[in-house]
């Protein structure tokens, strides 16, 4: 269902959203069972991530998509693709029968012109909806997002004020986000609302790892429900080279992973001490590090090119559990692969999810447990 190390995350989720947490746990259990028993057809997924747009107004230093090394910005032809609201509406109609949890992602999802309208529609269909945003447009959209019934707002914050702005490359960004978050706090207090839950997510990187504790005050001031520190996703050349053998079998390109080809430059001993110190205190919100590593694992994760996550099961269940919808309509098993299961403009989701392409991908993946490029991917630590 979930590794024992993720139990605390699950428990905290359960306290805040009991029905949702139980639904997720039950679905993951069934999916894991179907994986172990090698069902011919995959069960419908627990989660659907809709990648609304490749566009982003930021160029964050550590971002594998749009950062200094990012791959998306080099592909102008990709960036113009976006699905119409009508196509997404029809898609939501097709999938609502199995009640997946929806995440709106990008690029920057709030740049998609009908983002709020889509949240409203997803909530009309009574599906759980979460958005991951850089918050630049929050101040002007927050009232509508709350009224639309958004369940969870994940805001990316990598530091307090000037540190955040420098990592994200946009002076004034932190203050603009702050205005949106203060507005959210006031609306929730005035109307006695619990939702949307506010989750702050911080990506640990070479620029902020010495100052992680500054985020604790930030989360407190904004009335956050949780603060999650995500370990940095990056790849070594060795991962890319080994992946090429798999790519040949799948007729896949994993070149988008090249945006994550950088050295983390993190002193693991200092980071580990910081983690211990932060976790030794109590806060008015949940604080978590993801993945939640021991000292030995943390060292391996950041320093060893041949690292494999042994304490978490080293097998990827993501293509059984989650579907990614891309701005061109393709359904993909992974954010950084070209491999597609099919396109929602041509076929129904049900057809695509168990198409020949989907089955072949799952077969090759299950034979390998996980692919060489995937060793530091977030999805590997979720299930």
Ligand X SMILES: C[S@@+](CC[C@H](N)C(=O)[O-])C[C@H]1O[C@@H](n2cnc3c(N)ncnc32)[C@H](O)[C@@H]1O
**Which positions lie near ligand X, rule CB under 6 A?**
56, 60, 62-65, 105-106, 108, 132-134, 156, 201, 203, 230, 232-234, 260
Nearest distance, CB of residue 192 and ligand X, angstroms = 28
Rank residues 102 and 232 by Cβ distance to ligand X and give the closer one. 232
Extract the tokens encoding 47.
């989660």
Rank residues 232 and 358 by Cβ distance to ligand X and give the closer one. 232
Extract the tokens encoding 276.
């211990």
Nearest distance, CB of residue 144 and ligand X, angstroms = 18
Nearest distance, CB of residue 204 and ligand X, angstroms = 8
The CA-atom distances, in angstroms, between 226 and each of 6, 12, 333, 352, 377 are 15, 9, 28, 35, 22
Nearest distance, CB of residue 257 and ligand X, angstroms = 11
Q: What is the per-residue DSSP string for 45-99?
A: PSEEEEEEES--S---TT-TTTSTT-SGGG-HHHHT----HHHHHHHHHHHGGG-
**At which residue do the structure tokens 């919100």 appear?**
285
Burial (CB < 10 A; 0-12, 13-18, 19+), residue 20, is middle
Rank residues 106 and 372 by Cβ distance to ligand X and give the closer one. 106
Rank residues 271 and 358 by Cβ distance to ligand X and give the closer one. 271
| Residue among 111, 112, 44, 120 at smallest CA distance from 89 | 120
The CA-atom distances, in angstroms, between 233 and each of 37, 213, 214, 256 are 31, 21, 22, 13
Nearest distance, CB of residue 212 and ligand X, angstroms = 14
How big is the chain, counted in residues?
Answer: 383
Nearest distance, CB of residue 158 and ligand X, angstroms = 6
Nearest distance, CB of residue 376 and ligand X, angstroms = 8
d(CA 3, CA 25): 11
Rank residues 121 and 260 by Cβ distance to ligand X and give the closer one. 260
291 cis-preceded (ω within 30 degrees of 0) = yes
DSSP 43: P
State the pairing for strand pair 101-106/47-53: parallel
DSSP helix/strand/coil, 197: strand
Rank residues 158 and 349 by Cβ distance to ligand X and give the closer one. 158
Rank residues 43 and 261 by Cβ distance to ligand X and give the closer one. 261
d(CA 365, CA 363): 5
Q: Return the axis-axis angle of helices 214-222 and 173-190, rounded to nearest 10°.
A: 40
Nearest distance, CB of residue 233 and ligand X, angstroms = 3
- CB of 151 closer than 8 Å to CB of 193: no
Burial (CB < 10 A; 0-12, 13-18, 19+), residue 90, is middle
Rank residues 65 and 321 by Cβ distance to ligand X and give the closer one. 65
Nearest distance, CB of residue 353 and ligand X, angstroms = 24
Rank residues 58 and 278 by Cβ distance to ligand X and give the closer one. 58
Nearest distance, CB of residue 12 and ligand X, angstroms = 19
- CB of 107 closer than 8 Å to CB of 65: yes
Rank residues 30 and 233 by Cβ distance to ligand X and give the closer one. 233
């Amino acid at each position: 269902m979930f590794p024992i190390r993720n139990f605390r995350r699950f428990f905290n989720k359960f306290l805040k959203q009991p029905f949702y947490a139980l639904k997720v746990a039950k679905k993951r259990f069934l999916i894991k069972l179907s994986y172990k028993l090698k069902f011919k057809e995959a069960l419908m997924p627990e989660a659907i991530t809709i990648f609304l747009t490749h566009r982003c107004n930021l160029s964050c230093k550590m971002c594998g998509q749009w950062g200094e090394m990012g791959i998306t910005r080099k592909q102008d032809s990709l960036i113009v693709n976006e699905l119409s609201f009508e196509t997404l509406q029809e898609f939501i109609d097709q999938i609502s029968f199995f009640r997946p949890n929806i995440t709106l992602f990008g690029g920057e999802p709030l740049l998609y012109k009908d983002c709020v309208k889509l949240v409203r529609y997803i909530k009309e269909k009574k599906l759980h909806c979460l958005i991951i945003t850089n918050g630049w447009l929050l101040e002007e959209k927050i009232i509508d997002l709350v009224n639309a019934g958004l369940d969870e707002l994940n805001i990316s914050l990598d530091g307090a004020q000037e540190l955040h702005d420098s990592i994200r490359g946009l002076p004034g960004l932190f203050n603009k986000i702050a205005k949106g978050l203060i507005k959210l706090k006031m609306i929730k207090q005035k109307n006695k609302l619990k939702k949307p839950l506010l989750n702050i997510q911080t990506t640990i990187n070479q620029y902020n790892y010495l100052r992680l504790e500054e985020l604790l005050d930030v989360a407190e001031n904004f009335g956050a429900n949780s603060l999650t520190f995500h370990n940095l996703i990056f790849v070594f050349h060795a991962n890319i080279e080994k992946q090429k053998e798999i790519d040949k079998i799948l007729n896949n390109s994993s070149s988008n992973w090249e945006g994550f080809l950088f050295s983390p430059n993190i002193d693991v001993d200092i980071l580990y001490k910081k983690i211990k110190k932060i976790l030794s205190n109590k806060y008015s919100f949940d604080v978590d590090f993801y993945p939640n590593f021991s000292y030995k694992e943390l060292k391996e994760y950041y320093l060893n090119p041949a690292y494999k996550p042994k304490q978490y099961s080293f097998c990827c269940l993501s293509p059984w559990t989650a579907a990614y919808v891309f701005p061109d309509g393709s359904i993909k098993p992974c954010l950084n692969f070209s491999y597609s299961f099919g396109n929602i403009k041509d076929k129904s989701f049900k057809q695509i999810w168990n198409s020949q392409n989907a089955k072949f991908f799952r077969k090759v993946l299950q034979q390998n447990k996980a692919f060489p490029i995937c060793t530091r991917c977030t999805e590997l630590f979720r299930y």
